[in-house]
Structure 1
Amino acid sequence: MGICFSKKRSDTDESVRHVEFAGGNVHLVTTKESWDQKLTEAKNDGKIVIANFSASWCGPCRMIAPYYCELSEKYPSLMFLTIDVDELTEFSTSWDIKATPTFFFLRDGQQIDKLVGANKPELQKKITSIVDSESPAPQHK
């Protein structure tokens, strides 16, 4: 399981910075306003939000990004967001991000779960658990 700890990024390769983090149904959040807009949208649609706080220089973040995109396509009932901790430094600090990637699971803007590190099985388990808890129980006649 990979975790990266905070470091200063170099601006050497801006052109490919976000390519690996956006895709599928993953929304790249680049401003506090777009964060607020996505949370409002999720609340109105009754969706759980999974927020991936990551960094372009973080190996484990890059490793799990394609899997995160796959999950976003597999679970359209959830809203998948990615926040670059270097781009939104103050905002990320307000979430007390100590390592990347850190995944927050939010219902109506409130944290219901959290996962630190690029742990694919644990991420899948938490998503499955959330989806199962959101699904109405089958009706037996």
Structure 2
Amino acid sequence: MGICTAKPLARDNDSDHDVELVSGNVQLITTKESWDQKLEEARHDGKIVIANFSATWCDPCKMIAPCYCELSKKHPSILFLLVDVDELADFSSSWDIKATPTFFFLRDGKEFDKLVGANKPELEKKIAALTKSLP
């Protein structure tokens, strides 16, 4: 299981942008206001939210991104969000992120489960269990 815990000090190239962290039905959160809006929409629609706190420089984040995006297409009844921990550093700190990626599972804006690391089988298992419990 891959986990990134610190940002690398230097990069030799700008290859971070070669990997698409957001596609499918994953929605990128760029402000605290957009976070609040998406959570309110999910609450109104009775949707579960999965928030992926990630970083563009994190190799495990890049590794799990295609899976996360595919899962978002397979499960439209769940709202999939992506938060870049560097772009929203203060906000991410409020969630006590110790490693990336970290996935939070939210119902009515409150955390009910969490997964730390790029553990594809565990992420798929948690989402499968969720979909069985949805109406």
Summarize deviations over 1:31-63 as a string: whole Å, max 9, x none. Answer: 000000100011111100000000000000000
1:94 maps to: 94
How many angstroms apart in 1 are the aligned matches of 2:9 and 2:80? Answer: 24
Structure 1 residues not aligned, in runs of 5+: 136-141
* Equivalent residues of 1:9, 1:57 under 8 A apart: no
**Once the 2 structures are TM-superposed, how far is the Cα of residue 13 of structure 1 from its aligned partner?**
3.4
Q: Which amino acid aligns with 1:51?
A: A
1:28 maps to: 28
After TM superposition, the structure 1 = structure 2 runs for residues 1-141 of structure 1, keeping only pairs within 5 Å, are 1-7=1-7, 13=14, 16=17, 20-135=20-135
Distance 1:43 1:56, change over 3 A: same
Q: Which amino acid aligns with 1:126?
A: K
Structure 2 residues not aligned, in runs of 5+: none
* Equivalent residues of 1:53, 1:84 under 8 A apart: yes
**Once the 2 structures are TM-superposed, how far is the Cα of residue 85 of structure 1 from its aligned partner?**
0.2
**Once the 2 structures are TM-superposed, how far is the Cα of residue 8 of structure 1 from its aligned partner?**
5.8
Q: Which amino acid aligns with 1:81?
A: L
Alignment root-mean-square deviation, CA: 1.8
Distance 1:9 1:47, change over 3 A: farther
Summarize deviations over 1:4-49 as a string: whole Å, max 9, x none. Answer: 00326768639927x6111000000010000001000111111000
Aligned length: 134
SS in structure 2 opposite 1:4? coil
1:139 maps to: none
